[in-house]
Amino acid sequence: MRLSAILFVVILVMGGVGYWYYQDSQATIATLTENNAKLETATQLQEETIAQMAADYAAASEELNRVNEEFAVIRRQNNVLADKLERHDLGQLGNAKPGLVERVINGATDKVGRCFELLSGAELTDKEKEAENGQQFNSECPWLYDSLVVPSRVPGEQSGTDRNNN
């Protein structure tokens, strides 16, 4: 009987240890499951952030390329203007023919002012709409012709650029 009592106590202790182990492992499993869910959420958020950063980088690179291309166009336009100014000695011409130089400078200044108006969104005049090429449009900013006049022409009609090439 004594042996059965000892075996009974051993069985109770083993059952208690087994119950405690079961409860503890279930709590650990619940904690690990919760941590795994948080980790998956964090990983997904990180992947979305990386994808957004890659898209933002691509957009920024594209914008930088566009700005660099526009800058190159502006640099070429400035070179054209510098070449025009280098061909003439305005000081000597101004002394020799002040009236002519004044008219030329005032006319060019008016044309440049119109370029700024057009770049600021001013409506085209009838003369500008009817121009057949960039020089007729405005000799100080002929490059605006292709972007302001040509797109508004009737489909099928040749642009001034096309007419000049024919």
Residue 125 lies in a domain: yes
Separation CA 14–CA 6 (nearest Å): 12
Separation CA 87–CA 99 (nearest Å): 19
Residue 28 lies in a domain: no
Together in a domain, 83 and 95: no
Residue 19 lies in a domain: no
Nearest by Cα to 133 from 124, 118, 143, 120: 143
Residue range 70-100, pLDDT digits in tens: 999 889 888 887 887 788 777 788 888 888 8
Give the total number of structural domains in the chain: 2
Together in a domain, 96 and 129: yes
Residue 52's domain spans which residues? Answer: 35-87
Residue range 103-145, pLDDT digits in tens: 988 998 999 899 889 888 889 889 888 888 888 888 888 888 8
Tell me the pLDDT band of 164, cut-offs 50, 70 and 90. Answer: very low
Residue 64 lies in a domain: yes
Residue 68 lies in a domain: yes
Residue 39 lies in a domain: yes
Residue 5 lies in a domain: no
Residue 138 lies in a domain: yes
